[in-house]
Chains A and B, each alone.
Chain A
């Protein structure tokens, strides 16, 4: 027997066990896209996991070098397609720092409301996929039902359901229609009821509890060391949210809590997302009340040309910290280089740490609670 291990595996081979290697993916339904995991198994127990990326690599950062800044906003939709509207804002804030333009108050409220709607939509997909991966396909339809209402609102405001391409330096592309605020109110009232159903359906379900409590524990130190962010980091007991730590837009004027859980297992990562939906609804309620009916919704339109310099922005998407770094080497409408730091990539990096010693079915649970989006990892 050869002692050569397949590439990526690091642990020493033990002499008294018969280990074997299996592929999970790239077309496995529970890997949430074209992600391939190579598993090193000892019986049914996972010894080591090595993820392989790049099946849908499109070279977005390289393409951006031959694109104008405005075109890159459209490109950012295609990274994390579940939080496209939030990616738009991340790019736009970096551009605004370079152009030195401000946003009127009404424009900021439009931004924050769409951000939070996007966050709820993304967490509902998580709810659906988490239930679906554990074997309850009903959850998938439950989550998508309310998500459809959000996407209908997004379609009315931005013109597209997923690839919104909405925000522009100095505000947004359109003003919101008059029907938007009543629709958000109606949605919040509906959602208030539906959340009770959601939690009743899954949160105390014995199968979910048995399959998620104590599974895939990520300690506080490991979560920081692997560069996790967003709900995964906060489920491990680190109170870090960019909306609080480094407020952008008008998040410093809004009253909301940052939910933190301390066990770092799959059940906590599920609970924190449910808690975040409640917080997002709280923010939306405040925005609906305070929304300025009059006033401009974008500052004076001017061509998107950045002076020479380096501009950095970071925002909190539903998945975690999304940062954009723009380098403008010449004054003009094209960047020298744009780099994006997406949240899903570090989460997949930590999967080996979480999955060691668990079974394959637990790996599916861990994948679901990390909530990765593969196009954002590969870019």
Chain B
């Protein structure tokens, strides 16, 4: 309520009747905006999500879950340097190195804990070899918590 102390009775009555007119008119003005949107289907921005799943594409830079860039044979560029592991703020990455037959340090397993990942993308930025990227996958929900622990590489690293 608007509280005004020093106001005469005539002024009060004048204001009362003025508001009786302007008040409902302001409501009609607001309602006209609603009706404008109601009768103008071009302004509708809602996406029919599960139906348009096939055509729905994320932007190129969208940060979904982490994935390893692999060629057709499943080879990767990772050298198990561990820069991504150091860059990660919440320890979602474990790079487990191993030795190949020649005795050189190569990537054994690239363990990725998706449950604790915040998709900040610092690992991708830190990688000096361009071995990892953030995938545009956005439907990453799962019913099994074990799915959230993943091993990203199919093959051992080439070194």
Contact = CB atoms under 8 A, between A and B. Distances in A.
Interface stretch (B9-17, B117-125, B150-158): B117-125
B61 A74 contact: no
B122 A71 contact: yes
Nearest to A136: B30
Nearest to A74: B120
Most chain B C-beta atoms within 10 Å of own C-beta, residue among A138, A159, A197, A201: A159
B2 A213 contact: yes
A180 to B, nearest CB: 11
Contacts of B34: 138, 201
> Helix, strand, loop or mixed for chain A's interface?
helix
Given A74-B122, A206-B19, A214 B59 contact: no
Interface residues of B, number: 30
Contacts of A158: 61
A200 B29 contact: yes
B56 interface: no
Interface in B1-53: 1-3, 19, 22-24, 26-27, 29-30, 32-34, 36, 45
Interface in A75-90: 75, 77
Given A67-B89, A74-B89, A159-B63, A206 B26 contact: yes
A148 B27 CA distance: 27
A74 B118 contact: yes
Nearest to A161: B62
A214 B29 CA distance: 23
A148 B47 CA distance: 12
B84 interface: no
B158 to A, nearest CB: 27
Nearest to A213: B2
A148 B44 CA distance: 12
B33 A214 contact: no
Contacts of A74: 89, 118, 120, 122
A17 interface: no
Contacts of B27: 205-207
Interface residues of A, number: 32
B122 A70 contact: yes
A213 B3 CA distance: 9
A145 interface: yes
A201 B33 contact: yes
Contacts of A159: 59, 61-63, 121, 134
A221 interface: no
Contacts of B36: 197
Contacts of A287: none
A160 B64 CA distance: 9
Contacts of A174: 61
A70 B87 contact: yes
7 contacts: A71-B87, A156-B59, A157-B61, A160-B63, A200-B32, A205-B27, A205-B30
Interface of A: 67-68, 70-71, 74-75, 77, 138, 145, 148, 155-160, 163, 165, 173-174, 197, 200-202, 204-207, 209-210, 213-214
Given A159-B61, A165-B120, 20 more contacts: A70-B122, A155-B59, A155-B62, A157-B61, A158-B61, A159-B121, A160-B63, A163-B118, A163-B119, A163-B120, A174-B61, A197-B36, A200-B29, A201-B29, A204-B26, A205-B27, A205-B30, A206-B26, A210-B2, A214-B2
